[in-house]
Chain A
């Protein structure tokens, strides 16, 4: 199951197909308790759009008006879900064992799943894509049509350049007015970074911040080919090589970096999920969405 899903991410361009597969595997285990009843407190009718559940279509009204209308209910909560995608150049890091899979595709699939869950629960959800030194902003709305919009924005994200600087990102934090759940997917290689500053700040504003740190299995095992020369995609300085003599140093430096990241997240009460992109997206999503302390 896990390999099938990972290969699906690697080989399909259809994000909704991936999401359907992942969510099918997920079952109903992580649904938040705030699911609203479709007809608990009637609010208004709105026109049907593809993707709406058929059971929410008002058939009597359809019989009278010869058009489909969907009953909208009053919302219980005003929680908005914000998806933050790091699309800097380092997110293009490919898996060295699964062909065609990279960190950005994996992050894209998982954020798409979170968006689909949010849409299913009736929450508003928005998207922030950070890459090429810019912030691309999709406002938080509800509904299946908005899900399609967010998925296409995710699909369009390409890994390039650096994260936007702290000032730019700070100016873009105006979205966080109401209580929000913020799901950030990044490789966390730049830490502290404008992203870490922004997330810390959001957490201090009492938003629920959840960080997903993506790695590859080769990074975890320090098992790169020693035949190739390497360069840093975000820093134009020199060429690197990898070899058995450098393995221990690499592992030590990397562990030191991530223990710092973990410590800082714990200090700021931001749940951090570290995952390798070769792992099953279902498992990773379950770990990411699980409430801390449960």
Chain B
């Protein structure tokens, strides 16, 4: 939208018009016998001359810089670049960069989750002939990204970190619950706490009486809804009722604890998908071709500070010169 300001450039014609010297009669030499000549247009009046060319130049520059400031241009200054995610294996990065012919290219290190978004935001800053390579454990984005230029992504899945999930079970049937949590696979390990603490992310409340008022956790699995008045108005989804309370989020299902392996798997998956969020998944190595319609987001005013300083300097100069000319 800002680029529409460039359409205001014809404003530069105004000072040009003002500084064009008018045809001055005084320049003509007096000639007493001019009455014996036919009236003809003198030839030299067609020549354009400028009054105060320095001031004209300053004023044109001032207007041009003002329009540039409004249009907020982006100067494409970046050359070949390798974007490396944090924590990537340096040896692998060197090898991949050398293989792509970008061993000497500029390196930018970014958190893995922001790499593709940052590239898209700053897309205009690269010169048209620059090559872009993204290296590291880039997570799969929710939607396929579209870039206005070709971007190559090479990924190496990092070894997943061990994740501990602390669970407290308050139940007479604790053994059944423990068996279910023992079935949890993947990078996560479930640790059953005897007493709930700050690290506890799930409390299984399989009792009829209400829990202590001070007990808090992000998620509660409740088998007896009578202990939690919030569950009375809870909404249901496939038999799972859920509600938010002062203690944390409450889940309730009539058939808990799960009776078979399939139900246990479904519950653990729901826990992961609905509460903890999807697991990290590394993007497959690929090259994104330039998409014509992919517009980079509006520039964020990278040059505005410099332009403003130039604008102020030009304004001061123009005022001083005008004042000096007037005296």
Contacts and interface: CB of A to CB of B under 8 A. Distances in A.
A246 B36 CA distance: 10
Nearest to A245: B40
B30 interface: yes
A51 interface: no
B27 interface: yes
B45 A189 contact: no
B31 A240 contact: yes
A229 B26 CA distance: 10
A229 B29 CA distance: 6
Contacts of B41: 239, 241
B32 A228 contact: no
B43 interface: yes
B51 to A, nearest CB: 19
Given A250-B36, A253-B36, A257-B36, A230 B31 contact: yes
B276 interface: no
Residue from B32, B39, B40, B45 whose CB has the most chain A CB atoms within 10 Å: B32
Contacts of B40: 240-241, 246
A228 B43 CA distance: 9
B186 interface: no
Contacts of A254: 33, 36
Contact of B34 (A92, A230, A249, A257): A230
Chain A residues touching B, range: 20 to 34
Nearest to B29: A228
B37 A189 contact: no
A242 B44 CA distance: 12
A246 B45 CA distance: 18
Given A231-B25, A239-B42, A240-B39, A189 B32 contact: yes
Contacts of A187: 32
A234 B31 CA distance: 10
Contacts of A92: 30, 32
B144 interface: no
A41 interface: no
Contact of B32 (A233, A246, A249, A250): A233
A261 B33 CA distance: 15
Interface string A74-108: 00000000000000011111000000000100000
Interface residues of B, number: 20
Contacts of A250: 33, 36-37
B233 interface: no
B28 interface: yes
B37 A249 contact: yes
A249 B38 contact: yes
Contact of A231 (B30, B43, B44, B45): B30
A230 B42 CA distance: 9
Contacts of A89: 30
B35 interface: yes
Interface string A220-259: 0000100011111111011111100010011001100100
A283 interface: no
Given A92-B30, A239-B28, A240-B31, A229 B36 contact: no
Nearest to A237: B39
Contacts of B35: 189, 232, 235
Given A229-B42, A229-B45, A231-B25, A242 B37 contact: yes
Contact of A229 (B32, B33, B38, B44): B44
Interface in B6-35: 25, 27-35
Given A239-B45, A241-B43, A229 B27 contact: yes
A219 interface: yes
A47 B30 CA distance: 49
Nearest to A228: B29
Contacts of A238: 39
B41 to A, nearest CB: 7
Given A229-B27, A240-B42, A249-B36, 13 more contacts: A89-B30, A93-B33, A228-B28, A229-B44, A231-B34, A239-B41, A239-B42, A241-B37, A242-B31, A242-B37, A246-B37, A249-B37, A254-B36
Interface of B: 25, 27-45
Q: Rank and list the top 9 A-B pairs by shortest CB-CB distance, nearest first.
A: A90-B32, A93-B32, A230-B31, A253-B36, A229-B42, A229-B28, A231-B28, A232-B34, A241-B42
Interface of A: 89-93, 103, 187, 189, 219, 224, 228-235, 237-242, 246, 249-250, 253-254, 257
